[in-house]
Amino acid sequence: MADATLQHNAAAAHAAAGEYEAPLFGAYSKKVGMWLFLASDSLTFGALLFAFSYNRIYTIPWPMPFHVASIINASIMTACLLSSSLTMVLAVFAAQRRDTAWTRNWLLATMIFGAAFIVLHGMEWSKLIDEGLYLPGFMSLLGVSPSHAGGEYADVSKNVPQFTQAFFGLTAMHMLHVTIGVIYLGVVAFRKWFLPILGVIWVAAAFLIPAGNVFHYTVHVLGIALVVCAIILFLKPKDYDAEDVEVSGLYWHFVDLVWMFIFPLVYLMSTKIV
Protein backbone atom coordinates (compact mmCIF):
# COMPACT_ATOMS: atom_id res chain seq x y z
CA MET A 1 0.00 0.00 0.00
CA ALA A 2 2.82 2.33 0.97
CA ASP A 3 4.66 1.42 -2.24
CA ALA A 4 1.60 2.23 -4.34
CA THR A 5 1.26 5.60 -2.62
CA LEU A 6 4.93 6.38 -3.20
CA GLN A 7 4.63 5.41 -6.86
CA HIS A 8 1.53 7.58 -7.23
CA ASN A 9 3.33 10.54 -5.63
CA ALA A 10 6.39 10.02 -7.82
CA ALA A 11 4.20 9.90 -10.95
CA ALA A 12 2.38 13.08 -9.88
CA ALA A 13 5.71 14.83 -9.20
CA HIS A 14 7.02 13.69 -12.58
CA ALA A 15 3.89 14.96 -14.34
CA ALA A 16 4.15 18.29 -12.57
CA ALA A 17 7.82 18.56 -13.52
CA GLY A 18 6.94 17.78 -17.14
CA GLU A 19 4.19 20.37 -17.12
CA TYR A 20 6.64 23.11 -16.20
CA GLU A 21 9.56 21.85 -18.25
CA ALA A 22 11.17 24.64 -20.25
CA PRO A 23 10.11 24.54 -23.91
CA LEU A 24 12.68 23.50 -26.50
CA PHE A 25 14.54 26.51 -27.96
CA GLY A 26 12.23 28.76 -25.90
CA ALA A 27 9.49 28.26 -28.50
CA TYR A 28 6.15 26.53 -28.07
CA SER A 29 5.97 22.91 -29.19
CA LYS A 30 3.70 23.48 -32.22
CA LYS A 31 6.19 25.92 -33.68
CA VAL A 32 9.16 23.60 -33.10
CA GLY A 33 7.16 20.74 -34.63
CA MET A 34 6.34 22.78 -37.71
CA TRP A 35 9.98 23.87 -38.12
CA LEU A 36 11.11 20.24 -37.93
CA PHE A 37 8.49 19.24 -40.51
CA LEU A 38 9.59 22.08 -42.80
CA ALA A 39 13.24 21.06 -42.42
CA SER A 40 12.38 17.52 -43.54
CA ASP A 41 10.11 18.79 -46.33
CA SER A 42 12.88 21.07 -47.58
CA LEU A 43 15.00 17.98 -48.14
CA THR A 44 12.24 16.48 -50.31
CA PHE A 45 12.13 19.62 -52.44
CA GLY A 46 15.92 19.90 -52.31
CA ALA A 47 16.29 16.44 -53.84
CA LEU A 48 13.77 17.31 -56.60
CA LEU A 49 15.48 20.64 -57.33
CA PHE A 50 18.92 19.04 -57.44
CA ALA A 51 17.58 16.36 -59.79
CA PHE A 52 16.11 19.04 -62.06
CA SER A 53 19.38 21.03 -62.04
CA TYR A 54 21.35 17.89 -62.82
CA ASN A 55 19.09 17.14 -65.77
CA ARG A 56 19.36 20.74 -66.93
CA ILE A 57 23.15 20.63 -67.11
CA TYR A 58 23.44 16.99 -68.24
CA THR A 59 20.91 17.08 -71.09
CA ILE A 60 22.09 18.74 -74.29
CA PRO A 61 20.20 20.23 -75.99
CA TRP A 62 17.72 21.11 -73.24
CA PRO A 63 14.18 22.00 -74.42
CA MET A 64 13.19 25.66 -74.13
CA PRO A 65 9.39 25.52 -74.19
CA PHE A 66 8.52 28.67 -72.24
CA HIS A 67 7.52 31.59 -74.47
CA VAL A 68 7.17 35.15 -73.22
CA ALA A 69 3.50 34.46 -72.33
CA SER A 70 4.59 31.63 -70.02
CA ILE A 71 7.24 33.81 -68.40
CA ILE A 72 4.72 36.62 -67.81
CA ASN A 73 2.26 34.09 -66.37
CA ALA A 74 4.92 32.60 -64.06
CA SER A 75 6.02 36.10 -62.99
CA ILE A 76 2.42 36.96 -62.01
CA MET A 77 2.23 33.66 -60.11
CA THR A 78 5.43 34.64 -58.25
CA ALA A 79 3.99 38.06 -57.42
CA CYS A 80 0.82 36.35 -56.10
CA LEU A 81 2.85 34.15 -53.75
CA LEU A 82 5.06 37.01 -52.55
CA SER A 83 1.98 39.15 -51.88
CA SER A 84 0.32 36.26 -50.09
CA SER A 85 3.32 36.07 -47.75
CA LEU A 86 2.86 39.74 -46.89
CA THR A 87 -0.86 39.28 -46.15
CA MET A 88 0.04 36.22 -44.05
CA VAL A 89 2.42 38.33 -41.94
CA LEU A 90 -0.38 40.89 -41.48
CA ALA A 91 -2.70 38.06 -40.39
CA VAL A 92 -0.16 36.99 -37.75
CA PHE A 93 0.06 40.59 -36.48
CA ALA A 94 -3.74 40.80 -36.31
CA ALA A 95 -3.90 37.48 -34.43
CA GLN A 96 -1.32 38.68 -31.91
CA ARG A 97 -3.42 41.72 -31.07
CA ARG A 98 -6.48 39.39 -30.87
CA ASP A 99 -8.25 41.14 -33.73
CA THR A 100 -10.35 38.21 -34.96
CA ALA A 101 -12.02 40.02 -37.84
CA TRP A 102 -8.78 41.27 -39.40
CA THR A 103 -7.05 37.94 -38.80
CA ARG A 104 -9.79 36.31 -40.85
CA ASN A 105 -9.67 39.03 -43.52
CA TRP A 106 -5.90 38.75 -44.00
CA LEU A 107 -6.08 34.96 -44.01
CA LEU A 108 -8.80 35.18 -46.66
CA ALA A 109 -6.62 37.53 -48.74
CA THR A 110 -3.76 35.01 -48.44
CA MET A 111 -6.09 32.21 -49.57
CA ILE A 112 -7.25 34.27 -52.56
CA PHE A 113 -3.64 34.87 -53.66
CA GLY A 114 -2.93 31.16 -53.19
CA ALA A 115 -6.02 30.15 -55.15
CA ALA A 116 -5.03 32.58 -57.94
CA PHE A 117 -1.62 30.91 -58.05
CA ILE A 118 -3.24 27.45 -58.37
CA VAL A 119 -5.63 28.60 -61.13
CA LEU A 120 -2.83 30.31 -63.12
CA HIS A 121 -0.61 27.27 -62.71
CA GLY A 122 -3.43 24.97 -63.79
CA MET A 123 -4.03 27.09 -66.89
CA GLU A 124 -0.31 26.95 -67.70
CA TRP A 125 -0.27 23.17 -67.32
CA SER A 126 -3.37 22.78 -69.51
CA LYS A 127 -1.84 24.98 -72.21
CA LEU A 128 1.42 23.00 -72.23
CA ILE A 129 -0.43 19.67 -72.30
CA ASP A 130 -2.59 20.90 -75.21
CA GLU A 131 0.60 21.78 -77.07
CA GLY A 132 1.96 18.25 -76.66
CA LEU A 133 3.95 18.39 -73.43
CA TYR A 134 2.73 15.36 -71.50
CA LEU A 135 3.72 12.27 -69.58
CA PRO A 136 2.63 9.38 -71.82
CA GLY A 137 2.25 6.87 -68.98
CA PHE A 138 0.26 9.26 -66.78
CA MET A 139 -2.15 10.22 -69.57
CA SER A 140 -2.89 6.62 -70.58
CA LEU A 141 -3.33 5.69 -66.90
CA LEU A 142 -6.09 8.27 -66.65
CA GLY A 143 -7.64 7.09 -69.91
CA VAL A 144 -7.06 10.46 -71.54
CA SER A 145 -6.14 10.13 -75.18
CA PRO A 146 -3.14 12.25 -76.12
CA SER A 147 -4.96 13.85 -79.03
CA HIS A 148 -2.35 16.56 -79.04
CA ALA A 149 0.39 14.20 -80.27
CA GLY A 150 1.21 16.63 -83.04
CA GLY A 151 1.52 19.70 -80.83
CA GLU A 152 4.48 22.06 -80.68
CA TYR A 153 6.09 20.12 -77.84
CA ALA A 154 5.29 16.55 -78.95
CA ASP A 155 8.95 16.08 -79.88
CA VAL A 156 10.05 17.21 -76.42
CA SER A 157 7.77 14.59 -74.82
CA LYS A 158 9.15 11.85 -77.05
CA ASN A 159 12.84 12.79 -77.22
CA VAL A 160 13.53 14.40 -73.85
CA PRO A 161 11.17 12.62 -71.44
CA GLN A 162 13.39 13.66 -68.50
CA PHE A 163 12.23 17.25 -69.05
CA THR A 164 8.52 16.43 -68.79
CA GLN A 165 9.10 14.10 -65.85
CA ALA A 166 11.20 16.65 -63.95
CA PHE A 167 8.88 19.56 -64.83
CA PHE A 168 5.59 17.88 -63.94
CA GLY A 169 7.06 16.07 -60.92
CA LEU A 170 8.45 19.22 -59.36
CA THR A 171 5.59 21.58 -60.15
CA ALA A 172 2.90 19.02 -59.20
CA MET A 173 4.56 18.50 -55.82
CA HIS A 174 4.60 22.25 -55.25
CA MET A 175 1.02 22.73 -56.47
CA LEU A 176 -0.09 20.03 -54.02
CA HIS A 177 1.66 21.90 -51.20
CA VAL A 178 -0.02 25.19 -52.18
CA THR A 179 -3.43 23.45 -52.29
CA ILE A 180 -2.85 21.94 -48.84
CA GLY A 181 -1.72 25.38 -47.64
CA VAL A 182 -4.90 27.11 -48.85
CA ILE A 183 -7.03 24.42 -47.16
CA TYR A 184 -4.97 24.67 -43.95
CA LEU A 185 -5.50 28.45 -43.84
CA GLY A 186 -9.21 27.93 -44.57
CA VAL A 187 -9.52 25.62 -41.56
CA VAL A 188 -7.65 28.07 -39.30
CA ALA A 189 -9.70 31.05 -40.53
CA PHE A 190 -13.20 29.56 -40.76
CA ARG A 191 -13.06 26.26 -38.79
CA LYS A 192 -16.19 24.13 -39.48
CA TRP A 193 -17.64 26.78 -41.77
CA PHE A 194 -14.87 25.94 -44.22
CA LEU A 195 -16.16 22.38 -44.78
CA PRO A 196 -19.24 23.32 -46.90
CA ILE A 197 -17.14 25.90 -48.79
CA LEU A 198 -14.55 23.24 -49.62
CA GLY A 199 -17.31 20.78 -50.55
CA VAL A 200 -18.93 23.26 -52.96
CA ILE A 201 -15.56 24.08 -54.58
CA TRP A 202 -14.81 20.36 -55.01
CA VAL A 203 -18.18 19.51 -56.58
CA ALA A 204 -18.20 22.61 -58.80
CA ALA A 205 -14.66 21.94 -60.03
CA ALA A 206 -15.43 18.27 -60.73
CA PHE A 207 -18.45 19.26 -62.87
CA LEU A 208 -16.98 22.33 -64.57
CA ILE A 209 -13.55 21.01 -65.56
CA PRO A 210 -13.95 19.13 -68.86
CA ALA A 211 -13.26 15.38 -68.94
CA GLY A 212 -10.25 15.74 -71.25
CA ASN A 213 -8.45 17.98 -68.78
CA VAL A 214 -5.96 16.43 -66.36
CA PHE A 215 -7.49 18.41 -63.46
CA HIS A 216 -10.82 16.68 -64.01
CA TYR A 217 -9.31 13.79 -62.05
CA THR A 218 -6.78 15.44 -59.77
CA VAL A 219 -9.43 17.82 -58.38
CA HIS A 220 -10.65 14.89 -56.25
CA VAL A 221 -7.71 15.65 -53.96
CA LEU A 222 -10.15 18.27 -52.59
CA GLY A 223 -12.59 15.46 -51.69
CA ILE A 224 -9.87 13.65 -49.74
CA ALA A 225 -8.95 16.93 -48.05
CA LEU A 226 -12.62 17.45 -47.14
CA VAL A 227 -12.76 14.10 -45.32
CA VAL A 228 -9.45 14.74 -43.50
CA CYS A 229 -10.54 18.25 -42.45
CA ALA A 230 -13.92 16.95 -41.24
CA ILE A 231 -12.20 14.30 -39.10
CA ILE A 232 -9.84 16.88 -37.59
CA LEU A 233 -12.51 19.53 -36.97
CA PHE A 234 -15.07 17.15 -35.44
CA LEU A 235 -12.66 15.07 -33.36
CA LYS A 236 -10.72 18.04 -31.98
CA PRO A 237 -12.84 21.18 -32.32
CA LYS A 238 -11.10 24.33 -31.05
CA ASP A 239 -10.73 28.04 -31.64
CA TYR A 240 -7.45 28.62 -33.38
CA ASP A 241 -5.36 31.23 -31.58
CA ALA A 242 -2.36 33.41 -32.45
CA GLU A 243 0.02 30.45 -32.10
CA ASP A 244 -1.97 28.43 -34.65
CA VAL A 245 -2.05 31.36 -37.07
CA GLU A 246 1.72 31.81 -36.74
CA VAL A 247 2.37 28.08 -37.28
CA SER A 248 0.12 28.00 -40.36
CA GLY A 249 2.02 31.07 -41.55
CA LEU A 250 5.31 29.19 -41.27
CA TYR A 251 3.94 26.52 -43.62
CA TRP A 252 2.64 29.12 -46.06
CA HIS A 253 5.94 31.03 -46.19
CA PHE A 254 7.74 27.76 -46.82
CA VAL A 255 5.55 27.13 -49.88
CA ASP A 256 6.45 30.63 -51.09
CA LEU A 257 10.13 29.96 -50.37
CA VAL A 258 10.21 26.78 -52.46
CA TRP A 259 8.69 28.62 -55.44
CA MET A 260 11.56 31.15 -55.25
CA PHE A 261 13.80 28.28 -56.41
CA ILE A 262 11.37 26.59 -58.81
CA PHE A 263 10.59 29.76 -60.77
CA PRO A 264 14.15 30.59 -61.93
CA LEU A 265 15.23 26.99 -62.22
CA VAL A 266 12.28 25.65 -64.20
CA TYR A 267 11.00 28.67 -66.11
CA LEU A 268 13.89 31.12 -66.48
CA MET A 269 16.42 28.39 -67.31
CA SER A 270 14.14 27.14 -70.11
CA THR A 271 13.06 30.41 -71.70
CA LYS A 272 12.41 30.38 -75.42
CA ILE A 273 13.94 33.41 -77.06
CA VAL A 274 11.94 34.52 -80.07
Partner 1 sequence: MHDVAKHDDSKGQYFWVWGALLVLTGIEVWLGYNQVFSDPKNMLEVLMILSIIKSALIIGYFMHLKFEKSIMRWMLVISVTACFVIMYFFFFPDADRVKPPPNGVGIGQKS
Length of the chain counted residue by residue: 274
Q: Which residue in the set 37, 93, 217, 240 belongs to the binding site for partner 1 (CB under 8 A)?
A: 93
Interaction pattern, residues 236-255, with partner 1; x per rule: CB under 8 A: ------xx--x--xx--xx-
Report the candidate in 232, 244, 231 with the shortest Cα–Cα distance to residue 189: 244
Q: Which residue in the set 61, 143, 210, 237 belongs to the binding site for partner 1 (CB under 8 A)?
A: 61
Contacts of 158 (CB under 8 A, 6+ apart): none
Question: What stretches of the chain show up as alpha helix (H) in DSSP?
Answer: 2-19, 29-58, 68-96, 100-130, 136-141, 154-159, 161-190, 194-208, 215-218, 221-235, 242-262
Interaction pattern, residues 153-192, with partner 1; x per rule: CB under 8 A: ------xx-x------------------------------
Q: Which stretch binds partner 1 (CB under 8 A): 125-133, 144-152, 232-240, 261-269?
A: 261-269
Amino acid making up residue 140: S
Contacts of 269 (CB under 8 A, 6+ apart): 56, 62
CA distance 97 to 99: 6
Q: Which residues bind partner 1 (CB under 8 A)?
A: 23, 25-28, 32, 35, 39, 42-43, 46-47, 50-51, 53-54, 56-62, 68, 71, 75, 78-79, 82-83, 85-86, 88-90, 92-93, 95-96, 159-160, 162, 242-243, 246, 249-250, 253-254, 256-257, 260-261, 263-265, 267-269, 271, 273
